[in-house]
Structure 1
Amino acid sequence: MSDAVLYEQDDSVVTLTLNRPATRNALTELEVVDALVAALERAQADSGVRAIVLTGAGPAFSSGGNIKHMRDDVGTFAGSSAHIRENYRSGIQRIPKAFHELDVPCIAAVNGPAHGAGCDLTLMCDIRIAAASAVFAESFAKVGIIPGDGGAWLLPRVIGLSRASEMIFTGTPIDAQRAHEWGLVSRVVPDEELMDAALSLARAIASNPPGVLRMSKRLIREGQRMDLPSLLELSAAFQGIAHRTADHREALAATFQKRPPIFTGD
Structure 2
Amino acid sequence: MDARIGREAATDLLVGVRPSSRHGAPRRRYGSARVSRRPALLLAALLAGGIGAAGLTLTSAPAASAEATSVLEAQQALLAGDEGLEVMPQASVTVAEAQARLQEVATSRAARAEAEAAAIEAARPKFVLPVDGARLTSGYGSRWGTFHYGIDLAAPMRTPEYAAGDGVVLRAGAASGFGLAVYILHENGDVTVYGHMDEILVEPGQYVDAGETIALLGNRGQSTGPHLHFEVHQGGEDGPRIDPIDWLDDRGVRV
TM range (shorter): under 0.3
More strand by share: 2
- Which of the two has greater helix per residue? 1
